[in-house]
Structures are given as structure tokens and as C-alpha cells.
Chains A and B, each alone.
Chain A
């Protein structure tokens, strides 16, 4: 039994709307008490607590990323659960939901349990998302109940979205029964064959096939229609659709309408989609190749607006590590995705807090409380007593220069390498253990 007193910090806890100097006492793996500055000193002393001076720092619930790729099993050269969770800790994260496009695909309780076993050496908590269909082939849905019992917190076929209406319908019902979200990467892959960037003038000039906005919005609209049908039928539990990394204004507008109509639809936005446009592809920069692709300026701005007005529920990185040689290929051949755990907080502070005056309380909500809530991660995303002692301490005022080589991630495929960014993570505490200290 070990106690930690975090004193002198500015505490931000979205669920209780706390945004002021408070000290925090941790005992073992739980949060015990919050108190005015100095109030907890006596208790801490009695318990022999380790004292952490958080003067000048924000103390917030550990960040939660509900969309990452940890590449294990099968692609340990890109990332392992150990290296990926270390990168997460460096970025201030204490919980990661990892996608099932591993090798083999995580479509069984055995693989889910394998990911969760202590031998993986995760330094922060991992919550697997299991495949929605067997092998993510989109043909037959998996056993959601037993996957959940094994530890899965959601179902998704990630990069291979469920296209067939009937299968998606079944998946929504089964996920609702199991009490997990059905998570969809919205892309009509039938019309994006061979496409490697956003459709439009730039793709035309670069001679690259483009993905249209409609390839994304069409699936979102279809999924919302299915959710509406199931919801209004009144039969069975209410389905929860979570849309991954929305990148287009058109899809976001469909989600906005669905929310107004009272449907249980949530969505996430990735930092690269609110930071960058397809201009970054110039020179055939494979570190700007991702799926969904970087879009035009209007779409980028729409992602910011959606985060500001609450249409976008949370920020998720889609951390997608790839080895150097895999990205050093012809643009169309290179794999999609960039790493994101190390820079997510800083990019969010830069764009949302600095440029758009979003209060940090709201930003922490988007990066911790809301994602924990979407995935049903109890006792996370909050600093309330009895919650897990998942805490991040960061300095929102100072800046740092991100050097991808220094990241514990096995990969360094990021367009933000070398960027100087605001917001320095000073310490990450996962269930009472200090897992990162800068």
C-alpha cells in the first residue's frame, strides 16, 4: 500500500467541473481525497505518502485514447503492447483502446485475453476492441458477449468497415445487447479502390487517385439510418454507433443531425484532421498518407468547429505505427497512418486551447472524460474519490520539441517530428504507479 500526495497543482476534473488549485491524495491504485491546498498534508504525512510538487502544473485525469493500433500480435516490428503503452504514458495517456487489425485479427476471446495478459508488459491500461466480424471479413459477426467477458470494450472492423447493410444491422443489435459500442471506420471501400489521398484538384495534379468526401459520408449516413430504424422500432436495447476519425464536414453534419434527433451516435476526431490539410501530401510525403486522408481546409475547419460545439465527442489519435522502410516507398504503396500518442495533447492545446480559446477543462473532457464514457471505462476519465488513480501532470505554458527518435514507440512515422509544441507532460500515473516522468 502506497500513498502519493500531489500538491500545489491546478486541478482540472471535468465531471465535477473542478478547475482550481487542489491537492490530490492517492492511495494504492485509487484516488482517495481532494482538498484545498495544504489541507491533505497531515493525512499524507501520517500515511508516509510520497509528495509530488505540482506547482505550475495542471493535474488532470489520465488521458484516454480510444483508437490506437498496438500491432500485437503479429507485427511487433512496428510496435508492441509494451512500446505502445510506453509511448502512451509519455503522451499523458493512462488508457488505450487497441484496434483488432492485428495478425491474426482479434476476433476471439483467446486473442483478447492474450493482449491483456501481464506478459505483454503494458505500462498503462489496455482495453481491446474486438473484431465486429470474423476475421474482419464483413461476413459473419463474432461473439460479442464472450468477447466482452474476455475484456473487449467495443467491436469494430476498423480499416475494413462493415459494408453490408444486413451485417451492420445485426452488429448494431448484437453490440447493443452486449452493452458495447459498434465502432465504424466510415469508408465505402468499394469506391475508394486504389485511392491514396483526398479527392480533388491536388490529387488530380499529383496524379493520385482520390477518396471522395462521399465515400465517408455515405457510410455514416447509412449507419445512422440503421441506428434510427432500430431506435424507433422500440424493440431491443438502444444501439450505440461510434464513428471513428471523422474527416469531412459532410459526415459531421450527418452526425450533428443524428444527435439532434436523439440517436446514440458518438464520434471522434484525430489531431491530424484538425491540424493538417492535404497540402501536406505535396512532395509525396508518406507521413501525410493516412486513412481517412487529410482533407481540404473547409473540412479541417469543420473538425475544429465540431470539437468546439460538441458534435465531436472526443479526440482520438488513430496511433498507427509503421516501420521506416514501410513508409519509404512509392506513395501509393506506402501504408496508411501516423503515430500520434506522443503529440496528441500538445496539438490539441495548440489548436483548440491557444488558437480557439477552448478552456482546458473542456479539452480534458474531450481527451479523457468523454472517451472513457464512450467506451464504458468505469472509474476513468475522472479524479473523483474511488476512481482509479490515473493522473496526468502537465505544464500547459511551456513548450517542447518533439523528436520522434526519442519516443519509446518502435516507429517514428509522424509529420510532426521536429515540431516545437506547447504543453509538456511532466508525469503520468497509472493506477497509482508513476509510469512516466520527464
Chain B
């Protein structure tokens, strides 16, 4: 590391990895963060988003980050990549699409190779739930979970939280009463949604009520056990009536094979459209993690309307991911 960068760049702290060998700068599940850590991440994101880019352009200068993407994802990948670059870090993308993932090589070995090449942090998107744990355990590097199977998408939950807080006019901090009196309904394919899991695991800890909404096949009863403060509601209209935030999920058509889901019927019951919105929740903040299928789970007028926070979510993603990268390379401190 060249001397000139050391004045500003966070140095890897001599961190004692936890008993399981997982680096404290990792973010594998939203549940591993204390509310204090969530607050620190929000505060750092707030600072980074509020200052001119020139102020942090060399914050991670010469640091090497690897984006390991076994699943394609324009949004999450670009977001992490731009976040890293705007902090001056070097990134490399390894994806199955570019076939740079060696055929048949194990995830462990791919991780070890990236580490040997100098990667200091790995951002992993993978179709197997729990794969970030495997990578973190065997490389000892900070690993950021950018979505694993049906499990979690913790950076998404943090950017959603930042969005909710700003839309509701609250300060960017997390205590167990921050979201008292707020109800968030998450609607759609909860079963397959890592975004739903991470949000349902985070928001109730800040005092929010979370209503999970969807048909039986996409929302099994055991979902209620994700956390305290969660209720299940099959009737979308009823769910909306109670909510200040309506978070819509993408219908992943490829996941519905073999399920008895009639899309026309789904649309009728669970689509967020103007009619439903103005009738039941005319002031609710509308969110969607994207990519959206306009006309299926949400209509264009709502997605593009004034209540929609969808673009803001994307912008907040950049700030949150900058904060997570700084935290990762700073030994877990944000």
C-alpha cells in the first residue's frame, strides 16, 4: 500500500475473526448486525451521499474488490461496482456469464484463487442459499452477500430502510422504537424472495409492524415465524389499509413452474394499481426492489407516480453499498 493513501484510507484493522472464521467486515445476513451497527452504516451512508464525490474519491484507493456473480444482476452488480469505483477501489468482475468462473471449480477454490490474486473483499451473488457463509469461512475475507438463493439480500434491506426513513421524514438511525407505529406490507412471492426475508428480519427490530401478503403457495404459514412483529394477510386490500409503506415484489415467472398460480388471478388479487392504491392506501410509500414487471405486480402509473420511491431506492443502494464496502475493508467498523 503506497504511503500517500494511508492518510485517508481505512486500514485493515488487526481483527480477530469470530470463532467460525468469518471476518467481522462480512455481511452475510441482516441478523448479524446490531441496531448500533445498522445506525453506523446508515450514518456513514448519509455522510457519503451528502458530500461531494471528490471528498471520498480516494477513500479505498488501491484496494482490490472482487465481484463474484454466479447469477446475473444488472442492478446489484452495477450498484456495488459504482460504489467501489467512486471510492477509488479497483474491482474485478467474475461471472458465470463471462465464463470466467472455471468450469467445475468449487466455490471454495474460486474464493481462494481470488484471495491469492489480492482480492481483499468479495461481493457474492449466488443461487445457493448460504453460499456466502461457505466463502467467508474458507477465505477469511470480508464477504458481502449480494443475494443468495432464497435466503437473504441484506444490502437491499439496508437501502430499503434508508429509503423508508427518509420518506417518512425520520433521521437516519436505528433504535428499537424508530419505526414505532409504522406498518410495512410486503406483497408477492415471499417464498422465493431474499429481499422479503431480509426486510422482514430487519424492520420489526426497529419497531415496525410487517404484514406479509400473498397467496398460500407463495407465502407459506411458517413465514410468520421469521421474526416477532410479523403478520400474514391473504387479502391485499386489507393489508394496504393498515400500511404506510407498500413494498411490492417481483413475480419470478421462472420460479412458478409446477405451482398452481394463475397469473391473471394473481394480478387481480395482488397487483398494486391506481384503483387499489387510492382506495386503500392513498398516502403509502410505494417500493419495489426491481426489476419490475410493469403490468403484472405493479402498474406503470403507480411505479412512476409521486408516491413511488423506486428510483430513490436505487440511489440509496449506491450510498449503502459505499458504506458497506468501507465497513468491510475497515475490519467491521462503519
With a CB–CB cut-off of 8 A, which chain B residues contact A205?
197, 201, 225-226
Whether A329 contacts B106 in the complex (CB less than 8 A), given A205-B197, A205-B226, A207-B152, comes out as: yes
A379 to B93, CA, bound (A): 65
Is B254 interfacial (CB 8 A cutoff)? no
Our pick among A200, A328, A331, A332 for the contact of B108 (Cβ within 8 Å) is: A328
Our pick among A200, A201, A330 for the contact of B128 (Cβ within 8 Å) is: A330
Contact with A along B119-134 (1 / 0, CB 8 A): 0000000101111011
Q: Is the CB of B222 within 8 A of A329?
A: no
Q: Is the CB of B226 within 8 A of A207?
A: no
CB within 8 Å of A: which B189-213 residues: 191, 194, 197, 201
With a CB–CB cut-off of 8 A, which chain A residues contact B129?
206-208, 284, 331-332
Is A283 interfacial (CB 8 A cutoff)? yes
Number of A interface residues, CB 8 Å?
Answer: 18
With a CB–CB cut-off of 8 A, which chain B residues contact A325?
106, 108
- By beta carbon, the residue of chain A nearest B70 is A330
A208 to B191, CA, bound (A): 10
Contact with A along B137-149 (1 / 0, CB 8 A): 0100000000011
CB within 8 Å of A: which B62-121 residues: 106-108
State the majority secondary structure of interface residues on A.
Answer: loop
- By beta carbon, the residue of chain B nearest A283 is B133
- By beta carbon, the residue of chain A nearest B149 is A207
Whether A333 contacts B128 in the complex (CB less than 8 A), given A284-B134, A328-B138, comes out as: yes
Q: Is the CB of A328 within 8 A of B134?
A: yes
Is B265 interfacial (CB 8 A cutoff)? no
A332 to B133, CA, bound (A): 13
Is B151 interfacial (CB 8 A cutoff)? yes
Is B20 interfacial (CB 8 A cutoff)? yes
A207 to B152, CA, bound (A): 8
Minimum C-beta distance from B107 to chain A (A): 6
Our pick among A201, A208, A283, A333 for the contact of B225 (Cβ within 8 Å) is: A201
Q: Is the CB of B106 within 8 A of A204?
A: no
Q: Is the CB of B106 within 8 A of A328?
A: yes
Minimum C-beta distance from A432 to chain B (A): 46
Q: Is the CB of B128 within 8 A of A204?
A: no
Is B165 interfacial (CB 8 A cutoff)? no
With a CB–CB cut-off of 8 A, which chain A residues contact B131?
284, 330
Q: Is the CB of A329 within 8 A of B130?
A: no
Our pick among A200, A201, A284 for the contact of B133 (Cβ within 8 Å) is: A284
CB within 8 Å of A: which B253-272 residues: none
With a CB–CB cut-off of 8 A, which chain A residues contact B133?
283-284
Number of B interface residues, CB 8 Å?
Answer: 26
Q: Is the CB of B222 within 8 A of A201?
A: yes
With a CB–CB cut-off of 8 A, which chain B residues contact A199?
222
Minimum C-beta distance from A266 to chain B (A): 33
Minimum C-beta distance from A129 to chain B (A): 32
With a CB–CB cut-off of 8 A, which chain A residues contact B152?
207
Q: Is the CB of A204 within 8 A of B149?
A: no
With a CB–CB cut-off of 8 A, which chain A residues contact B151?
206-208
Minimum C-beta distance from B135 to chain A (A): 10
A328 to B75, CA, bound (A): 30
With a CB–CB cut-off of 8 A, which chain A residues contact B191?
204
Q: Is the CB of B126 within 8 A of A204?
A: no
Minimum C-beta distance from A101 to chain B (A): 24
- By beta carbon, the residue of chain A nearest B31 is A205
Q: Is the CB of A206 within 8 A of B134?
A: no
A325 to B149, CA, bound (A): 21
Minimum C-beta distance from A222 to chain B (A): 23
Q: Is the CB of B225 within 8 A of A204?
A: yes
Contact with B along A207-241 (1 / 0, CB 8 A): 11000000000000000000000000000000000
Q: Is the CB of B106 within 8 A of A331?
A: no
A205 to B194, CA, bound (A): 9
With a CB–CB cut-off of 8 A, which chain B residues contact A208?
129-130, 149-151
Our pick among A207, A329, A333 for the contact of B150 (Cβ within 8 Å) is: A207
A284 to B148, CA, bound (A): 12
A308 to B293, CA, bound (A): 57
Q: Is the CB of B226 within 8 A of A204?
A: yes
Our pick among B20, B134, B194 for the contact of A329 (Cβ within 8 Å) is: B134
Q: Is the CB of B134 within 8 A of A204?
A: no
A339 to B88, CA, bound (A): 49
Our pick among B20, B108, B128, B149 for the contact of A283 (Cβ within 8 Å) is: B20
A201 to B227, CA, bound (A): 10
A261 to B149, CA, bound (A): 46
Minimum C-beta distance from A285 to chain B (A): 9
Q: Is the CB of B134 within 8 A of A330?
A: yes
A396 to B225, CA, bound (A): 42
With a CB–CB cut-off of 8 A, which chain A residues contact B49?
none
A344 to B128, CA, bound (A): 32
Minimum C-beta distance from A190 to chain B (A): 12
Is B223 interfacial (CB 8 A cutoff)? yes
Our pick among B108, B130, B220 for the contact of A207 (Cβ within 8 Å) is: B130
Q: Is the CB of B222 within 8 A of A204?
A: yes
With a CB–CB cut-off of 8 A, which chain B residues contact A332?
128-130, 149
Our pick among A203, A204, A207 for the contact of B194 (Cβ within 8 Å) is: A207
Minimum C-beta distance from B68 to chain A (A): 13
With a CB–CB cut-off of 8 A, which chain A residues contact B106?
325, 328-329
Contact with B along A328-350 (1 / 0, CB 8 A): 11111100000000000000000
Our pick among A204, A206, A331, A333 for the contact of B223 (Cβ within 8 Å) is: A204
With a CB–CB cut-off of 8 A, which chain B residues contact A331?
128-130, 134
Our pick among A203, A204, A207, A329 for the contact of B148 (Cβ within 8 Å) is: A207
A284 to B137, CA, bound (A): 11
Minimum C-beta distance from A6 to chain B (A): 44
- A residues whose Cβ falls under 8 Å from a Cβ of B: 199-201, 203-208, 283-284, 325, 328-333
A-B contact list, 23 entries, CB within 8 Å: A203-B222, A204-B191, A205-B197, A205-B226, A206-B129, A207-B129, A207-B130, A207-B150, A207-B151, A208-B150, A208-B151, A283-B20, A283-B133, A284-B129, A284-B130, A284-B131, A284-B134, A325-B106, A329-B106, A330-B128, A330-B131, A330-B134, A333-B128
Having A208-B129, A330-B130, A330-B134, one finds 11 other A-B pairs with CB under 8 Å, namely A204-B226, A205-B226, A207-B130, A207-B149, A208-B149, A208-B151, A283-B130, A325-B106, A328-B106, A328-B138, A330-B128
Q: List 10 tightest A-B contacts by C-beta distance, closest first.
A: A284-B130, A207-B151, A207-B150, A201-B225, A330-B128, A207-B129, A201-B222, A204-B222, A331-B130, A284-B133
